[in-house]
Structure 1
Amino acid sequence: MKLFLTFILVMALHSGKLLADTPQTAAGEWSISLSAGAGKVTTPLSNRDDLQGYLLPAVSYYGERFFIENSFIGYTLFEKQNWYLDLTGSLNDDGFFFELDGINQFGWWDALGMDGGFNSGDGIEKPVYKDIKRNLSYMAGLSFTWLTDLVEVRLSSLADISGVHHGKEHHLSFRKSYHWQKWQFRWHLGTLYKNKKITNYYYNLRPDELGNNPSWFGLPGGLNYFYGVTLSYQLNPQWAVQAFWQKNQLDQDLLRSPLLRSDHYYSRFIGVRYSF
């Protein structure tokens, strides 16, 4: 299960913005590929291990209006020559780090290197701290894409439709692809704002996680940004060599939380891809 979620995390981070284009298929057909190589996503959580994977599946479908890119789903509402408006949905990435690295054994005391037990051995009973658990959430909303000769611009506004935290997030991203013979290069960068319902759900602490004491800190909404590159070489219609790298920078205010050890994380993959 952990390995499967690692795949989904990497794809959620890169769907629609990182992976090099696979060979084009006709409208209404499925595209399936499998990449093998070395992949890694570092974690910003305290005392947690980085996530690693060696296989990277990708599934996509493009109809006249409906499309799927792994966990990214959309429906085109309006389309013109140089812009289009989509109704889209995607997984929120904050929950992956909790789901993937032993949430049932993860508490704030663990993050700080403290003992979370209740028996001190000296006859004094210590509070019982509850293990920390955070759920994945699914975000949906509108996405506007503007196509120019210089860059592709995308603006999205999404809200939680899974009932996990009822938060909202807003994305602004830029990307550009270049093709030369069998080579493709793509760069991308962007920023995203997550409101305080999201930041406090994932990174603040509940009274029952603090021995029925209130949290000593609060988190505002967070302004994050990211940038990355993708490079691929198409050996033949089925096989390609590909690599990508991305840095995600978190808002500095999130470091008020003991659950976080770092204000950034990286994701990268290098390997070969086979398209079915």
Structure 2
Amino acid sequence: MKYFFFLLPIYLLLVSPYSMASCEENNEQCIEVGQWDFAVALGAGVITNPVRGGDNVPLVVLPYISYYGDKFFVDNTSLGYTFLEQPKYDVSLVAQLNTERAYFERFHPSNILVSNSFTNESNTPSTPVTNPHPDTGTDSEQPDDATGGDNDKQSPDVITIDDISKRDWALDGGIMAHWYFEEYGKLSILWLYDATGTYKGHNGRIDYSYSLPLGMPRVARLKLKIGAEYKSQKLVDYYYGISTIDTESERHLYNGKAAVNPFISIAFNYRVNENWQIKFSAKQTWLDSGITNSPLIDKKYTSNIFIGGLYEF
């Protein structure tokens, strides 16, 4: 496989460990304070990549790390400070890696399992991104084959990840709020702005989740979530727009537009013993036309699915 896009941060946002920890047996919303949590999920799964020329990403080994203090918290690629906390709601300042760049990153699968693997998903690319000019274009004499693979060639009628200039990582900062309903329901709102000046835009998310404990005692949990992501025009244009820096072909030029992407997800955990859980999770996100109209995109949705075991240290 020629390209391996490090989409692990996207998956971790779906199944991050704070949704699994509870400080009281009868409260699904409660998180244990003052304790570092380390876990590794082992199993099989995939994240689909909507960028033309990119490969889907296999999920086999997924590390987790989190810490929640009285105010400060760390959750994989996110840092936060909770400045307002009440029984029914809380508000935090947050900073986290923007995962859009992950669709354009190239890694070999073996690079996942290296030292400091807990933090590699949030680091900058292994090769510094300094070239503002596009890579060499597609050879017009090559056959019109499907995308992906070491020896695949692209038709001159399409533009792929090989033809465009590099997209940089960005660090977002903003505000996050949660409202809690009874023991199991939660409404979340997140607004973030590009703190690094990479794409000079903003993004947000709103979702409602319902977590239902199963069994007596509560050895299993089913979590359903529905929501939508907002991406500003500047964000979409930076990552999915096509400019003269990317191509000399005028018919491929595209100015990105603001997008609203609805999504739905489901997660199921079954606790086998003190350390092991069986985990299943799946998420489907439908991409707005502001993204899918880009010549760089060849799918109208992204999906991820994972099934396996989770070991908590």
TM-score by length of structure 1 reads 0.84
* CA displacement at 1:115 relative to structure 2: 4.9
Equivalent position of 2:167 in the other structure:
134
CA contact (8 A) 1:88 1:141 kept: yes
1:49-64 correspondence to structure 2 within 5 Å: 49-64=55-70
* CA displacement at 1:12 relative to structure 2: 3.5
Q: 1:207 aligns to what SS in structure 2?
A: coil
* CA displacement at 1:80 relative to structure 2: 0.9
1:10-159 correspondence to structure 2 within 5 Å: 10-15=11-16, 21-22=20-21, 24=23, 26-100=32-106, 113-115=154-156, 131-149=164-182, 151-159=185-193
1:157-181 CA-to-partner distances (Å, cap 9, x unmatched) read 1101122111101211110111122
Equivalent position of 1:238 in the other structure:
275
Give distance in 2, aligned partners of 1:250 and 1:140: 23
Q: 1:146 aligns to what SS in structure 2?
A: strand
1:209-228 correspondence to structure 2 within 5 Å: 209-211=246-248, 216-228=253-265
Amino acid aligned to 2:155: M
1:259-270 correspondence to structure 2 within 5 Å: 259-270=296-307
Amino acid aligned to 1:58: Y
Equivalent position of 2:117 in the other structure:
none
Give distance in 1, aligned partners of 2:167 and 2:13: 18
CA contact (8 A) 1:206 1:214 kept: no
CA contact (8 A) 2:243 2:253 kept: no
Give distance in 2, aligned partners of 1:80 and 1:153: 14
Change (3 A) 1:257 1:4: closer
Give distance in 1, aligned partners of 2:171 and 2:243: 22
* CA displacement at 1:215 relative to structure 2: 6.2
1:122-181 CA-to-partner distances (Å, cap 9, x unmatched) read xxxxxxx96431122121101111111262111121101122111101211110111122
CA contact (8 A) 2:186 2:209 kept: yes
Equivalent position of 2:230 in the other structure:
193
Equivalent position of 2:287 in the other structure:
250
Amino acid aligned to 1:113: Q
1:236-265 CA-to-partner distances (Å, cap 9, x unmatched) read 110111010000111023222111001211
Q: 2:165 aligns to what SS in structure 1?
A: coil
Residue ranges of structure 2 left out of the alignment (5+ in a row): 24-30, 109-128, 140-146, 148-152
Change (3 A) 1:107 1:64: farther
Residue ranges of structure 1 left out of the alignment (5+ in a row): 117-128
CA contact (8 A) 2:42 2:62 kept: yes
Give distance in 2, aligned partners of 1:66 and 1:244: 28
Q: CA RMSD in A?
A: 3.0
Identity fraction in percent: 24
Change (3 A) 1:59 1:139: same
1:75-132 CA-to-partner distances (Å, cap 9, x unmatched) read 101011101111112222221110147999978859792359xxxxxxxxxxxx9643
